[in-house]
Structures are given as structure tokens and as C-alpha cells.
A and B are shown apart, each in its own frame.
Chain A
């Protein structure tokens, strides 16, 4: 939780027909046994996870793993085949407009609203949320303030169609949060970004996270996940095969250091959490025979790739074993 300022002030509970009591500590997103089938193709095989208030969670996985499907079901844009799903205590399939007003969805814009001016468009969208303002949770954002936050003050009177790619994506984010959402969905938000735009975008998401927003993002970019997320879920073949905080995963993985060496002409490889002890024993045993010694830290990406590879060839047990310390 990052409740370090007023933006995370008490939230308004939901009272709609489809609502279920959602205590202040209850999960903002709760997914149980989610299944999705398109025609004869099963995309999701019983996905379970939950996201607490103020958490930033990254959903990782290869193409076709079901990340976008999952997030679109949570956004209420797609109907599911089976399972129980609650977002802010409400089933997205039955979410009403009040529920919708508490959500933010970052869309990958292409060229919509190109003739509108930046400030004009943001003010227009902000007005959709104004009726849902409450003393506890005033909506929407002040547009001038929000434009300043996303660094578009200078472009306020420019037409949307004339913005650069990076500026447009910052506007996408501003539009998604203009209603001061309690939960924000980002589906592959930085695809096609240049490194600078990516950096700017990450900074912005961090700011929003620091204000106590609950954020679920999907990404291919492990570095991005590590940078932004408190917790990662790895989705492969429609199943969550690992989840844990970034620290948990990193610690688990960081414990594995890979040592390679040769004796004579034979190559060796060993993984150990205790490099020093292992090397001491290695030299005691083989002395000068040890050559080509390399010690390498296994990083999150290595393990992610290994896990995904294992899972994709059906060796989910192997994948689970690798992450045994991190999962659950």
C-alpha cells in the first residue's frame, strides 16, 4: 500500500444491484475459477487471483496466454464462460454506470478524436464523471492539474491529431484517470514506445500508484513489470503458473547463481545459493584443474523464460518446482 497522501482517502462503497459488500480491506479485484472459451478453443483454464487496494500487479505471459482476455473480462468488455469475477465488489458483466465511473481503462489510441483540442477533449470526458463525485471521493480531476501532471500543459490547445506518439500515450493515460478511478487497467501500455516515451510513461504510472491507485497491467516487458509492479502473475496457456511479489520472485531467483567451469576438457554447470562455499570446495577438490570459471547471477528474465518454456511444452510441474519458493 502506498497511502502517503490524501488521494487515497476513504473511497465510496458501491451500492448498485450487482454489488457485494466490499470491506475496506477486501480485494479490489477478485477472480475465482475464470474460464474462457472461444468456439472450441479454451483460452483460460481456471484463473484465480486477487488484487488488494493500492496494489500494482503485473500480468505477464507470452502472446496468446490469455492476458488481454483476462483484462477485458475485468473491464466488463467481454463476457466470460465460467467463474466468479468481482471488480470493486461487482460482477463486471453486470456493472452499471456507477461502477463504470470508478474504473479507468488505458486504451491504445490510434487516431480517435483527432480533431478535438487536448484540453477540450479532456474536459469533455471529465464531465462524464462529474455526477459521480462524492465528498469522500471528488471527481473528476481538475483538467489543468491533470494536464500538468502528464506534461501536456503546453499542448492543451493543440489538436489531438497533431500530438507525437509519446504525447498521445500520455493523453491516453490522462483520459483513463480523469474520473479519478479506484482501479486502473493498462493492457500492454508501452507497446511501440521509444525508450524515452517508455521512461516518461513509467514515471507517470509510478505517480498514480503512489497516490494509492489500484493498478493491473499486462506487459511483455519484464523490466517494466519489475519497475512498476508490487506483485507479478505469470500466465501461460490460460493458467497462472506463478505469482508473488517482485521481491519474492527476485529473491528466489537471485538465490540461484550459476557457476560454470571446465576440468580437463569437460564442461560443468552448477546452481547454488552459496557461491563462496561452493567455490571453496571446488578448489579444494580440483585445485589447478579448474579452468574457464564463470559465475553468473540468474535474473528474473532467465527464470521467466525458463518457466514459460517449461509450461509451454507441458512441463508445468517442472515450472512449478522452479518457482516453488515464490509461488503462493
Chain B
């Protein structure tokens, strides 16, 4: 009964290694699976197509094209949809199909699962953003890959943007029971996107709508992305004609802080509730419904 035979176990190391492996395999499965790849391409083409159509339209009297304004804003769409919504969706599906329960039965399975999911979702967002940024470099004469400020800005906007929205996605994914109810998230998210200055400058909207948009991370991620990708003169189209970096950090930081505070508790509660009989009930319910 000696402890000398007991191998040293480093929970954090196992969690990170297994999570990285999971996330990596899932990303690999996504790019090697025709259906997943196609749906991601359709999404990106859908995002980028308006740019092509609007490339000659000028945005008010700012001297820049509508496409130029639109492109960086799409980064916030990628964070919201490829990031948050996708995390919500995957959590719901993974609870429904037993993925979560399977991991729960392994040592360090739940944290490993969560790290894997974050890697998966963050990887997808980065890939989508890379396409958007590359398109910007090719289409917009003012966006230069040689400008270190561009990469520096993206290096803080993307992580902070993800941190502000992913915990929210995890909470929603834990609370929604059925994949059929994903519309509860998707429809408000589209509504929010429409007023968050992504497709049209928020400065042109009524003040109260601006305030609604300003309460959520989506607007600020878009603003920060425009600050990174657009020439200095483009600030004229923004609310208060300012990039408002401090406010951006403040609002995104607040969402991230709140999310990171609440999400682990909600996830733990959800994980605790998973069991074989809960799964069986869910499966019966799903199978009774016409698909």
C-alpha cells in the first residue's frame, strides 16, 4: 500500500493535451468532411459576396467604399456565428447525442471536452477571420500586410472578442435542451447583428438603437476590427467619430469577466445532470418526434 508506485498525474497537463488533441481532430474532421467543408464555404461566400457587389458604392461622403466598411465588420460576424452560435449548437447536440456523457465517464473527460470545444471553435473563427483579412488585403488598397499595427490590433481584438462571446455561447448551449430550439439564439443574434454596425454604420441609427447595440460585444468587436483594418479617416463614419478603444476593452472585458464567472458554474451543473437515464429519456423523446 505504498504510494511509490503511483504515477505522478498532472490534471492540467492531461486536460490541455487531451483537449488540444480533441480540438485538433475535430478541426481535421471538419476540413476532411465534405458536408462540413461545404457548409463553411457557403457561409464564407455568403459573407463575402456582398463585398463584391458593393465594391463601387461609396459610403456617404467619407470617401471610402461600402465594401471597405463592411469587410472588417464581418470579423465580428465570424466571432458571433462561427464562435458563439456554433459553440451553443455543438453543446446542445453533444448533450443530445451522448458525447458529453461519454466524456463524463472518463477521468478529466469534461475539462478535456471543454478545452477541445474551445480549440475547435476558436480555430474555426480564426480560419474564417483569416479569409476575411486576406480578402481585405487583396481588395482594399489601404489594408497592408506590412503594417504591424494591423496584426497587433487583430491580436488583441480576436482573443478578447472570443473571450467575451464564447462563455455566453457555453451558457446558452447548457440551458437549451433541444437542437430544435437553436432559433432562440439565432434569431436574436441576427437581430443584434443588424443593428451592430456590421452592415451599415451604427452612427446612422437612432440613438436608442445605438445604445442597445453598444450593450453587446458584437458592436465593439466590429468597431475594433474596423479600427485595425481601415485607414484613419474611416473613423468619420463611427459613433462620436472615435474608435473608442478604452470603451471597447471595457465592454468586452466586462462580458468576458461575467461570462467566465458564470459559465463554469452553469457548465458544471449541466455536466452533473448528465446520466444514462437522462440520455435515454432524451433519445426516446427525439425518436418519437417526426424528424
Give chain A residues whose Cβ lies under 8 Å from the Cβ of B29: 115-116
Interface residues on B, range: 35 or more
CB distance from A177 to the nearest CB of B (A): 12
State which residues 236-291 of B face A: CB under 8 Å.
274-277, 279-280, 283
CA distance A72 to B185 in the complex (A): 33
Chain A residue total in the interface (Cβ 8 A): 43
CA distance A97 to B18 in the complex (A): 15
Q: Do the beta carbons of A134 and B5 come within 8 Å of each other? A: yes
CA distance A107 to B279 in the complex (A): 10
State which residues 199-252 of A face B: CB under 8 Å.
none
CA distance A104 to B107 in the complex (A): 11
B25 interface neighbour in A68, A69, A116, Cβ under 8 Å: A116
Q: Do the beta carbons of A134 and B106 come within 8 Å of each other? A: no
CB distance from A33 to the nearest CB of B (A): 22
Nearest B residue to A126 by beta-carbon distance? B106
CA distance A135 to B4 in the complex (A): 10
B105 at the interface (CB under 8 A from A): yes
Q: Do the beta carbons of B106 and A125 come within 8 Å of each other? A: yes
A90 at the interface (CB under 8 A from B): no
Q: Do the beta carbons of B1 and A112 come within 8 Å of each other? A: no
Q: Do the beta carbons of B108 and A128 come within 8 Å of each other? A: yes
B53 at the interface (CB under 8 A from A): no
CA distance A112 to B105 in the complex (A): 14
Mask of A93-128 contacts with B, CB within 8 angstroms, 1/0 = 000011011011101111111111000100011011
A68 interface neighbour in B97, B106, B108, B276, Cβ under 8 Å: B276
CB distance from B15 to the nearest CB of A (A): 10
Give chain A residues whose Cβ lies under 8 Å from the Cβ of B274: 77
Q: Do the beta carbons of A110 and B279 come within 8 Å of each other? A: yes
A15 at the interface (CB under 8 A from B): yes
CB distance from B35 to the nearest CB of A (A): 10
State which residues 130-179 of A face B: CB under 8 Å.
131-136, 175-176, 179
Q: Do the beta carbons of B97 and A112 come within 8 Å of each other? A: yes
- Given A72-B276, A134-B7, verify A100-B106 contact (CB < 8 Å): yes
- Given A98-B9, A107-B98, A112-B97, verify A68-B107 contact (CB < 8 Å): no
| 8 smallest beta-carbon distances between A and B, as pairs | A77-B275, A97-B107, A101-B107, A112-B99, A112-B98, A105-B105, A128-B106, A115-B29
Q: A114-B97, A115-B33, A135-B5 are in contact. List 15 more A-B contacts (CB 8 A).
A: A15-B6, A69-B277, A77-B275, A97-B11, A98-B9, A103-B105, A105-B105, A107-B105, A110-B98, A112-B97, A113-B102, A116-B25, A127-B17, A132-B107, A179-B106
